[in-house]
Chains A and B, each alone.
Chain A
């Protein structure tokens, strides 16, 4: 392949790909320009950089939306390094949404305003994230996956360490960075083994699987598990979840609003690509692993993740820690459709992720507001909030109901779709593990109720010990209402959303099926 590479053809490939890469190019430029703006205007104006970054994100949003028009089916960019699929655009849209909401939440956040490193640098990181996340969601080449993940990881370390003057924040950052570096090293070792076994880094095409079939089973299994470790770290699945509660507790809420949504969604996009390779009809590649059943391993991890997340959440008194475990538990739920890989599960995964992003943004909006206005981080300090902040509290109850999975919210529809796709897969394969998974998921829904209910319990049932004086800013209420409206719409009238999602994901899944 390398011998007949023609430089001009290659160059044409690259220039031809650039129009499809506009959102990422815009973000990169915004990043560079913003650094200079910050350098020269730091003394005069604090709000110029955030404003500029937001405008840049809007521009990226415009180009991303434009891609829906441009891209009707999978296309390959940069000589097969990047794969732009309609499903990927949905992910990109989600990242931008999360980034923009985070941006708005952070503008007034005390923790970020008072950071000695300066206020502007925080916002400069957002476009970097977008580039990394977009690459993650668009890559099916191991090198690009690695680059995207590292970009996101390093940016995450910086954001978590942003308030490192506070001991908690520094501690969270060092834990995060150490675990992250370790897991990426393990993943890389797996990648290098896979490369040695298959001779290619591209997951696309038949070379990868065909060559893998010649390799011994145990070493392929080891390589795959090591690569999975890196991905599981990104989506914070058990047993790679240890850092999550610490990071959540030690980091300002707006940052967590972003870190708990976008990177996780991107992690699922990558995992989907990676697992998708192995759901190709393996027999046609003579790839038979009698001992290594990766599906059951993932089912087991999924069960452990949701159960451990929910059980640990029960014991928490700090809201952010509780939500950290809740997000771990949701990872377990989101893994369910990955395991059954059908057209429906592809759609239900994306649907669940969309709803999850909305829910977590809404939760951390409230948590951030409480932190800013009253320095409140413990469950105790939410006592009697409802009497002072009725609208915010009602929104909160709806979001929590959605997190539990009660109708008529998007969380319920998501759970229903996920359960249905697993049940349907069970009907076809009769794999008992899928049944255990379903039962575990249902039991976990009940366990989750225990701790999600504690928030409204404190907000509504307990009498306030102090007076919540500070008024909720109007823009927070507006965003909250929009998010909640989205969650309710996804629950009461999900047809359009699911139709839209499945229209975009169908192709990706179909290719695997045929």
Chain B
């Protein structure tokens, strides 16, 4: 355990920050640009992973386990969220034979 913490700390904190910011921004761009519902969900996952990385890095630097515990919760909850999300996408596919979010225009006003 100590060993891992030291290894994490071997890389400067700034690097983690930059990497996770990049991941996060890529995720946001993906959500905004892509039209495929599954890809959008994947982009959200990318954002969540950016969060996880950040939390783990902070946690290691501060020597406080709370951040890492948070990561486990995020992973579990994200799995649940994706399960529901994918189920909904399947429903959409059955209805429209497509998972393009541009087709979602019945509800307007």
Contacts and interface: CB of A to CB of B under 8 A. Distances in A.
B91 A147 contact: no
Contacts of B73: 143, 146-147
B84 interface: yes
Contact of A174 (B62, B70, B92): B92
Contacts, number: 134
Given A146-B73, A196-B54, A173 B88 contact: yes
A321 B84 contact: no
Interface in B64-79: 64-67, 69-70, 73-74, 77
B19 interface: no
B37 A174 contact: yes
B89 interface: yes
> Which of B31, B41, B62, B70 gathers most chain A CB within 10 Å?
B70
A161 B91 contact: yes
Given A188-B48, A245-B109, A181 B85 contact: yes
B95 interface: yes
Nearest to B50: A189
A143 B70 contact: yes
Contact of B104 (A146, A175, A188, A189): A175
B37 A170 contact: no
Contacts of A193: 54
Interface in A192-217: 192-193, 195-196, 199-201
A323 to B, nearest CB: 13
B78 to A, nearest CB: 8
Contacts of B89: 174
Interface in A147-165: 147, 150, 153-154, 157-158, 161, 164-165
Q: How large is the interface on B (under 10, 10 to 19, 20 to 34, 35 or more residues)?
A: 35 or more
B81 A192 contact: no
A246 interface: yes
A324 B66 CA distance: 39
B54 A178 contact: no
Contacts of B31: 178, 182
Contact of B54 (A150, A153, A186, A189): A189
A201 B65 CA distance: 11
A2 B64 contact: yes
A167 B95 contact: yes
Nearest to B89: A174
Interface string B38-58: 001100100110110011011
B48 A177 contact: no
Given A167-B96, A199-B64, A250-B107, A189 B84 contact: no
Interface of B: 24, 27, 31, 37, 40-41, 44, 47-48, 50-51, 54-55, 57-59, 62, 64-67, 69-70, 73-74, 77, 80-81, 84-85, 87-89, 91-92, 95-96, 101, 104, 106-107, 109
27 contacts: A2-B64, A142-B70, A143-B69, A143-B73, A146-B70, A146-B73, A146-B74, A147-B73, A153-B81, A157-B85, A161-B88, A171-B107, A172-B107, A174-B89, A174-B92, A177-B85, A178-B41, A178-B101, A181-B85, A185-B44, A185-B51, A186-B47, A189-B51, A195-B58, A195-B66, A196-B54, A315-B109
